[in-house]
Each structure stands twice: as C-alpha cells, then as structure tokens.
Chains A and B, each alone.
Chain A
Amino acid sequence: MWAHCAAQINNQCAGEAVMNVHGGGVNILLKTASVGGGIGYPLTFVTPYSYSNSLLLPPIVEIQNVTKSFKKVPRVSDLSFTIDKGDVYGFLGQNGAGKSTTMRMILGLIFPDAGKVLINGTELTNSRRHLLRHIGAVIERPDMYGYLSGWDNLKIFAALTDATIKEKRLYDVLEQVGLRGRERDKVKTYSQGMKQRLGIAIALVHEPDLLILDEPTNGLDPQGIAGMRQLIQSLSREHGKTVLVSSHMLHEIEQVATRMLILHRGKKIAEGPVQELLNPEEMMVRIGIVPDDVITRKLTESQWQKHVVTAADGQLTFRLNKEMIPELNRWLVNNGAGVTDIDSRHSLEDYFISLTND
C-alpha cells in the first residue's frame, strides 16, 4: 500500500490524500489538483479520477525525491511525481528548468544523486535494460546517423531493442509518422521536422507503453507543430500510449496534456490535471505596498499566508480566487499597509510567464 500526492506544491502533499491500495482490489481514488507556490497552500480541486485502468497497477513512472547536481550546481531538487498509465503528462518549464535532466533520469541516461526512479513499480537501476523495453524516447534533438538512410537508422535502432521487429512494422511506423516514401534518403538531407518524425518512429517502433518526448516541436514549422500535436493525441487516444512530453510553452502542453508539472530551477512549482491548473477563476495578484517589515510579518501569521507566492521589497504576489481580492485589499489597509497598486491576471499562464521572465 502506498499513497501518492495527486497535487503538490513545492513538494508538499496538498489537498486530499489519495490512497491507492494494491492487491486489496478496492481503490478509492480521487484526483486532486492544486496550484500555488512559495509558502502558500493550494486551492484544492476534487475531481473523480478518470483513469480506471490504473486502479490495479503501479504508476508507469514514479519519481521519489530525486535530486541531481552537475558540478555542484543543482539541476533537479527533491523532485517527486507520478505518471499513471494513459496519462499524457506535460512537463512545463523554461530552458534549464530541469525537464531534460528529469527525463534522462527516467531513461537511466543520468543517475540521480539521491532519490529513486521507478518504472512500473520497479526501481530503474535494478532492471534498466528490462524496463527500457517498455519505453521509447526522443531526448532533445533527434540526432541520428546522417550518413545513413532513414530506413537504415530505423532498422539499426529497432535492432537495439531485444524484440524481433518485422519489416512490416517498420513500414507501418514510417506511415504513422508520415515518412513513407522518403525512407531511402540519407538522414542528412532531411528537414528538422522529418528528423523529428523519424525520431518518433524510432521511439515507437518497438511498441513501447511509455513514450518520452523532449520538446518534440522544437524547430518545427506551425504545420509540423500541429501535426505533432495530432500525433501525440492519436498515440494516447487510439493506441493507449502513456506520453511524457516536455515544452517550454504552456499552450503546447495545455493542448495535449491531461496532467502537467511545472518545473522551475529544478523544483516542482505546480502539478495536477491541466484543466484544473488552468482554472479561469484562479488569479495571480500583485500588490505594491510601501516596504514594511511589520506588514510582511503579520502577513505570514495571517490566513492569507497560504496564498502568498512571493513577498519581498514592497511587492507581494498572491494566488487566489477573483472574489477574494477586495477582502485581501481590505485586510492590508486595515493592518496599516500603504497599498500603491494592485494588478491581477489570470493565474497560471501569467505566473509561468513571470517565472520565465525573471
């Protein structure tokens, strides 16, 4: 038996605890989502868990308190999350947020300094080769052997899986990614989009359960981006694949993902179902005040503390529902704060943009 947090903020389990009981046959699962940051507590959403097929199975990916530094610079700090079978799981974060590092750790390319990576409930380090049979991945650029044809590349990487893959499957997967007819051309003559599609064909050829796509739309034209989106959706809906996809653009994740996780400087900022994280009622409120340590201290002791995202240098940032804004303003004024301006926006998108800008 184990518990996992469906929605978390800064690694603290938030909302309703969700119990997933293995072996007992009875599972009561609710998926909760929350957004928030800093010292605040989340707003909690409770929705019925929609992935009935995962009721009896461990998550396909489970990351437990994973930390990784390169040359003493932390890249991923104490990160935990789970991906259930059938999820299209979006990794959102600016460049350098730790998305690729985390994906590489899931694939065993990089070894965590601390924490565990479990695939289908088994620790990766114990059974990397066996577990990788169920994963297909394109990490960063889809680099292949430019001096060989697309077909040769596909054949080579197909042979690197233990499975015996028939030629028909190679043609099918080329058809699926729209490369049929160009497979005999050398890869160095391919456009970025074609390389990306060949990369996905390679990732798919051994029919993995989990597909890991790191920034798959990088370098694609708008048409290519739309095509990629459709491909991911069809892989999920029609072929039942679990997909982990990363992007630095919210709208890309928003359009394909069922759940998402926002990473910033290696830390989890928010995680939960996309629909709920992008709640239109949720606002990001920035309030300018005359700098005052007393107010800051009072704030941390008040009921508003859980909504605080940042509080420094006369700039307070809150994440709260629209109707709470006048009440917060009143509290500040009553406590002697000199409010200079109030600015409120739709929360997650702006919040993400603000992260990207800082």
Chain B
Amino acid sequence: MIRLLLIELYKIFRRPRTYISFGVVTATSLIFQLAMKAGGREFFEFGMQDISEQFNIQGNIINGYLVAYLILQSLLIQIPLLVALVAGDALAGEANGGTLRLILTRPVSRTRLVMIKFMASSIYTIMLIVWLAVMALFLSLLVFGDGDMINLKSETFILLLKHDVMWRYACAFGFACLAMTTIASLSMLLSAFADNSIGPIIATMGIVVVFTILSNLELPLFTAINPYLFTSHMVGWKGFFDADVPYRAIGKSAMVLFLYTSGFLAATILYFNKKDITS
C-alpha cells in the first residue's frame, strides 16, 4: 500500500501540471500582497466605512493576519479548481493516457487503486494548503507584520487580539484540508465516469460554483436546502475567526464534509469496480 502510494505521489509530483497549482497559489498571493501594499488601506476602509465613521481605529490594520484572511477568502473559488486539476485527473487522466488499462492488467484491486489515488490526491491537497499557508500567511506576516486582526462579516465586526490569531489559522487550515478533501473526492467520482480529465475538472468547478451561489442565496427555497449542500459547510474554516468559535456548528460542518467525502469515495469505488475499461 505504502509503495503504491509513493508511486502515485511520484507520478503526481513528476508531472509539470502539478506545479501549476503551486504557481497559481504563489502568484495569487503575491499579486494580492502587492495590491494590499499599494492600496490595501483604502480598499479595506471601504468595507469598514460604517465602523470608521463612528470609531477612531488606530494601529496596523492591514497586517499579515488580515491580508492572509483576504487571500484565503478570495482563493475560496480557485483552490477547488486546483484540487480538481489533480484529483479530477486521477482516474480520467490515466484513462485518457491509456495507462489505466495497463495498470489494471496488473494484480492491483480496483478498490485499492481508488483508495491510493484518493490518498495521493489528498496528500497533494494538503501540501497545496500548506503552501497556501506559507505564501498567504507567513509571507504576509513577513511583509505586513503582525497585529490584531479585523474580521468583517456581513453583520458583525470582529477584532481578534494578535496572540489569539495563530491557533485559529492552524485550525482553519486544518478545516480547509478537510473541505478540499471533499472536493478531491467529488473530482475523483467525476473522474471515474470520464475518460478525459477536462470533463471532471470542469464539472467539479461547475458544481462548486453553482452550489456556492445556492449557499449564498437567501431565498426560502435555497435556505431550506443550504444545510445539505457541502459548499455551505466548506466555509466552516471562517468559524474559527469568530470571537467565540462556534465549535458545535464547525463540528457539524466537519461531519457533513466527512460524510460527503465518504459518500463520494464509496460511490467512486462502487462505480469503478463495475466499470468496463474501454479506454
């Protein structure tokens, strides 16, 4: 199992495409940091208008913690794409390249193959998020310094003291890993259905975008289905930036994501075990 996993990781990390994701994260973070350096204060004060009219806010507002949060928030849509880039390719890419039939002529069980591909995709996802932490958080802290963190929610203004922030990021990145693993499992499922990798990547993005829109629509019909959409729970990492962390809700969201992941994985295994390999 370990040997096969190492092979899978070797394949992933020897492929130039894999590094596109790391490049995208790096580039997005750098561009964002540059923009924040240039006009971050104006940008942020626009959002804080209501507050700064009434309060005199002093200090290093545009600090590394805030910049990192804004980067994470804006990468919310891109990261699933980057995860899908590898997880969506896991089975479909092999099918497209013709290597899937060669793999399956070897004595490897299909269930094990799916599990290994999923584990490898998850490891890639975690590495991507660790890289995101390095670029978005640690580099921002280096460039913008640390300080208390302001978190603007739709109806709440939150200020977190600087010594109270880092652990929240650690938890948030951990949660993000779980959320992105759900994306990886969704991509894997779609990947099992397809014989080329573009389909599952686009389909994953389509589902994430549509579900995210539904999650944010405050219409009665959609609020009723919101609790069942995994995208509503994927933003659970933000819960760690509430003054009082809603552990119960985050726990529930983590459970929902875990169930989705298991469901997607089980469906992938079931389908893939019955699939005729015609590629």
Contact = CB atoms under 8 A, between A and B. Distances in A.
Interface residues of A, number: 38
A126 to B, nearest CB: 13
B59 interface: no
Contact of B109 (A129, A137, A139): A129
A350 B109 CA distance: 44
Contact of A159 (B7, B14, B97): B7
Contact of B4 (A111, A152, A159): A159
B102 A133 contact: no
Interface stretch (A141-149, A236-244, A272-280): A141-149
Contacts of A152: 10, 14
A135 interface: yes
A146 B7 CA distance: 15
Contacts of B219: none
A156 B108 contact: no
A314 interface: no
A145 B109 contact: no
Interface stretch (B25-33, B191-199, B270-278): B270-278
Interface centre among A109, A152, A162, A202 (most CB of B within 10 A): A109
A143 B102 CA distance: 8
Given A110-B277, A156-B7, A159-B3, A129 B107 contact: yes
A241 B14 CA distance: 35
A137 B105 CA distance: 7
B107 A162 contact: yes
Interface in A246-285: none
Interface string A29-62: 0000000000000000000000000000000000
Given A141-B98, A143-B99, A156-B7, A109 B14 contact: no
Nearest to A203: B105
B107 A132 contact: yes
Given A143-B98, A145-B99, A156-B7, A107 B105 contact: yes
B163 interface: no
B107 A161 contact: yes
B217 interface: no
Interface in B60-104: 97-99, 101-104
Contacts of B10: 152, 156
21 contacts: A104-B101, A104-B278, A108-B104, A109-B101, A129-B108, A131-B107, A132-B107, A136-B105, A138-B102, A139-B102, A139-B105, A142-B102, A143-B99, A143-B101, A152-B10, A156-B7, A156-B11, A160-B103, A160-B107, A160-B108, A212-B105
Interface of B: 3-4, 7, 10-11, 14-16, 97-99, 101-109, 274, 276-278
